[in-house]
Amino acid sequence: MGAQLAGLLAKLDIRGPRDLLLHLPLRYEDETRLAPIADARPGFLAQVEGEVASCEVVLRPRRQLVARIRDASGVLVARWLNFYPSQQKQLAVGRRVRLFGEPRVGFFGVEMVHPRVRPVEQGEPLPEALTPVYPATAGVGQATLRKLIDRALASEPLDDPLPPDVLHELRLPGFAEALRALHHPAPDADPAALELREHPAWRRIKFEELLVQQMSLRRAYNARRARRAVPLPVQDRLPRALLETLPFRPTGAQRRAAAEIAADLAAPHPMQRLLQGDVGSGKTLVAALAMLQAVDNGWQAAMMAPTEILAEQHWRKLSDWLAPLGIEVAWLSGSRRKREREAVLERLHNGELLLAVGTHALIEDPVTLPRLALAVVDEQHRFGVRQRLALREKGEEGRRPHMLMMSATPIPRTLAMTHYADLDVSVLDELPPGRTPIRTRLASDARRDEVVERVRQACLGGRQAYWVCPLIEESEALQLQTAVETFDALAEALPELRVGLVHGRLKAHEKSATMNAFSAGEIDVLVATTVIEVGVDVPNASLMVIEHAERFGLAQLHQLRGRVGRGRAESACILIYAQPLSQTGRERLKVIYENTDGFEIARADLRIRGPGEFVGARQSGLPLLRYASLENDTDLIEPARELAERMLRDMPEAAERLMQRWLGGREALLRA
């Protein structure tokens, strides 16, 4: 195979014959029948055959190749906006061709735009089975892929490492049989089952994919457990002291999670735990207790948060909580002055300071935490894998710190099982008492004035409000401009109130000054972009207004709404939307209006747009699923999990072969 072809195939993630086997059709086309041209109906894929009556390059309305194909029943126009000289040759007048495409009524009468063309001889037999259509790329078309795949099918070993008893029980075909059925469907194969990927051959492949994912996650988990970490036995001196000084008691869920973590920390291998809890469930306290267990043993702990605002807020909270215990917390952010920063770094380096909170400034080079025994990552889905790994590397060589990941983006159980099979999970499924439920209201933008009035009343009554500006994904500049305009408009409409503005382009110290002023009650209305999305905690704020709510994702809306309802006051969230609403926009608003439970919302989100985005799979570094769907193939997940354990334990060689087949070298990152 030439280097050029190899390069093109790499774009399709095909790096060898093994990958070709698993390069499965996107869909299938029915070329087993011919339609008379006169019967070809707009909107339905059809195959027609006829003689080329004319073929020319037309320059208007733009340069294109236009051919007329005639059969006994009529004439059809075919058009190509991009074409090669070779195509023109195929379409020489008098040649016989088959066209496959979707007819429509167009500029030139009934036409097909960019149909597939195949030169044929008179009376050439039709294929007997459906034709697979593969993901392709410029330069590697269907014909090439088909040829390469057939070659791989003939030359590669197609042995089946799956135990027959499992195949039998799940009624799944063998590997070779499944591949053949998908690459070369039988004439009598059920087209709908192939198309919808419900055919047993598809189920076999999806099962295998889920199995491989489970095995590789499991293996990563085991590999990490085999490493050494600093054991931090439970002394319960500082954690207890903290709980005694707090004005509230931990919830049952907080106690349970804290106990699970405490037990992990005492072990001589690194903890890898995810703490999942809905917005406002009190994850920070659980993290603080864990960090104190490190301090109790004379070791360091660090907490990393994705935004400056959040990091500073954590630092303030921890400092407030820990000052009475005589513990100082270091704060590291990109914005601290050099001299202050260096002083802090020095004290962290020589172990004088045991606790550090920061943004990704924590993982930058000059930071050394020689006695780091616990790393906490808040809102972990906001960080890339590499950043999380970098934090882990801050400790002493050869020892891994314990890791606690926190996420307010709750995910459904099946997702957690597959995406986080390499983590242990603790769940905070209980909110602290005394919260009044947030009321959610929808308002069309025609009623913006009423909403402004509502803000005025709330603030005059001593409350505070957030006003979140529309998300403009295409342009950060435009987003900024909108924020500034919104700020001006509100400041003018509400002259008796103190209006503040915070957005991503502000310098860190400006952001922090504004947030502090809002926290201290010196600002009544905070106009903000989504920089306040995660974590911000100002209990006196009880009104949240979100403009163009239909543009936000569900997880985002839930996070934003979670900024209120944190104090005793009755809280409300007003979602302003613009008409007309798209179908998805409408669905999302309905979900957020009807639900307050993050897990419910996550489930709905999964339904509306699939799992990928929600858990940030793209940057999670986990092997993505190409064929299986966590939503549709739930019945395969549990058996895949069970078999994964069994194969790793009893059939390590078969397990290895399977993983090689699917992942090749791609497992490296995962096991890092």
Of residues 610 through 669, those in contact with ligand ADP by CB under 6 A are none
Q: Give yes or no for a cis peptide into 268 (omega within 30° of 0).
A: no
User: Which segment (44-52, 282-290, 414-422, 661-669) binds ligand ADP by CB under 6 A?
Assistant: 282-290
User: Which segment (424-432, 449-457, 478-486, 528-536) binds Mg ion by CB under 5 A?
Assistant: 528-536
In this structure, are strands 525-528 and 464-468 parallel, antiparallel, or unpaired? parallel
Instruction: Pick the binder of ligand ADP from 50, 132, 270, 282 (CB under 6 A).
Output: 282
- The binding track of 530-569 with respect to ligand ADP, each residue x by CB under 6 A or -, is -----x-x-x--------------------------x---
User: Which segment (193-201, 247-255, 497-505, 570-578) binds ligand ADP by CB under 6 A?
Assistant: 247-255
**Nearer residue to ligand ADP within complex by CB, 182 or 258:** 258
Shortest distance, position 536 Cβ to ligand ADP, whole Å = 9
**Nearer residue to ligand ADP within complex by CB, 131 or 251:** 251
State phi, psi for 165 to the nearest 5 degrees.
-60, -35
User: Which segment (200-208, 280-288, 289-297, 622-630) binds ligand ADP by CB under 6 A?
Assistant: 280-288
Residues 6+ apart with CB under 8 A from 634: 414
Q: Which residue's Cβ has the minimum distance to Mg ion?
A: 535
Closest CA to 611 of 596, 624, 592: 624
Instruction: Pick the binder of ligand ADP from 132, 280, 470, 598 (CB under 6 A).
Output: 280
Closest CA to 58 of 127, 115, 108: 108
How many Å apart are CA 394 and CA 390, to the nearest integer? 7
Shortest distance, position 555 Cβ to ligand ADP, whole Å = 13
Closest CA to 522 of 543, 541, 535, 503: 541
CB atoms within 10 A of CB 441: 14
Q: What SS3 state is found at 470?
A: coil
How many Å apart are CA 446 and CA 98, to the nearest integer? 55
Helix 252-266 vs helix 283-296: crossing angle, to nearest 10: 30
Residue 566 interacts with, from ligand ADP, Mg ion, none (CB under 5-8 Å by kind): ligand ADP
CB atoms within 10 A of CB 279: 22
Helix 200-225 vs helix 634-650: crossing angle, to nearest 10: 50
Closest CA to 216 of 625, 659, 660: 659
Q: What SS3 state is found at 288?
A: helix
**Nearer residue to Mg ion within complex by CB, 358 or 535:** 535
**Nearer residue to Mg ion within complex by CB, 375 or 670:** 375
Of residues 355 through 414, those in contact with ligand ADP by CB under 6 A are 408
What's the farthest any 2 CA atoms get from each other in the chain?
A: 94
Question: Which residues face 627 on adjacent strands?
Answer: none
Of residues 414 through 453, those in contact with Mg ion by CB under 5 A are none
Shortest distance, position 360 Cβ to ligand ADP, whole Å = 19
Contact call for residue 251 and ligand ADP (CB under 6 A): yes
Question: Which residue, chain included where needed, has tokens 């310098």?
Answer: 507
Shortest distance, position 284 Cβ to ligand ADP, whole Å = 3
Name the token pair of 91.
């379409």
State phi, psi for 636 to the nearest 5 degrees.
-90, -20
Contact call for residue 254 and ligand ADP (CB under 6 A): yes
User: Which segment (123-131, 268-276, 527-535, 609-617) binds Mg ion by CB under 5 A?
Assistant: 527-535
**Nearer residue to ligand ADP within complex by CB, 14 or 406:** 406
Helix 308-322 vs helix 508-519: crossing angle, to nearest 10: 50
User: Which segment (179-187, 244-252, 365-373, 647-655) binds ligand ADP by CB under 6 A?
Assistant: 244-252
**Nearer residue to ligand ADP within complex by CB, 288 or 465:** 288
How many Å apart are CA 461 and CA 305, to the nearest integer? 33
**Nearer residue to Mg ion within complex by CB, 20 or 425:** 425
Residues 6+ apart with CB under 8 A from 58: 64, 65, 66
**Nearer residue to ligand ADP within complex by CB, 217 or 438:** 438
Side chain identity, residue 555: A
**Nearer residue to ligand ADP within complex by CB, 143 or 323:** 323
Binding residues with ligand ADP: total (CB under 6 A): 19
How many Å apart are CA 563 and CA 654, to the nearest integer? 50
Contact call for residue 250 and ligand ADP (CB under 6 A): yes
Contact call for residue 277 and ligand ADP (CB under 6 A): yes
**Nearer residue to ligand ADP within complex by CB, 205 or 534:** 534
**Nearer residue to ligand ADP within complex by CB, 212 or 560:** 560
Closest CA to 547 of 592, 578, 588: 578
**Nearer residue to ligand ADP within complex by CB, 117 or 305:** 305
Contact call for residue 535 and Mg ion (CB under 5 A): yes
Q: What SS3 state is found at 488?
A: helix
**Nearer residue to Mg ion within complex by CB, 97 or 428:** 428
How many Å apart are CA 552 and CA 366, to the nearest integer? 38
How many Å apart are CA 672 and CA 3, to the nearest integer? 30
Instruction: Pick the binder of ligand ADP from 69, 232, 279, 427 (CB under 6 A).
Output: 279
Ranges of beta strands (E only) in 229-315 are 272-277, 300-304
Residues 6+ apart with CB under 8 A from 351: 300, 370, 371
Name the token pair of 603.
């489930």
Residue 529 interacts with, from Mg ion, ligand ADP, none (CB under 5-8 Å by kind): none
Contact call for residue 432 and ligand ADP (CB under 6 A): yes
Residue 281 interacts with, from ligand ADP, Mg ion, none (CB under 5-8 Å by kind): ligand ADP
Shortest distance, position 434 Cβ to ligand ADP, whole Å = 7
Instruction: Pick the binder of ligand ADP from 131, 214, 272, 281 (CB under 6 A).
Output: 281
- The secondary structure of residue 435, as a DSSP letter, is P
**Helix ranges, 532-616 (H):** 554-561, 583-594, 598-609, 611-614
Shortest distance, position 394 Cβ to ligand ADP, whole Å = 23
Shortest distance, position 562 Cβ to ligand ADP, whole Å = 7
Contact call for residue 562 and Mg ion (CB under 5 A): no
**Nearer residue to ligand ADP within complex by CB, 258 or 348:** 258
Residues that bind Mg ion (CB under 5 A): 535
Residues in contact with ligand ADP by CB under 6 A are 248-251, 254, 277, 279-285, 408, 432, 535, 537, 539, 566
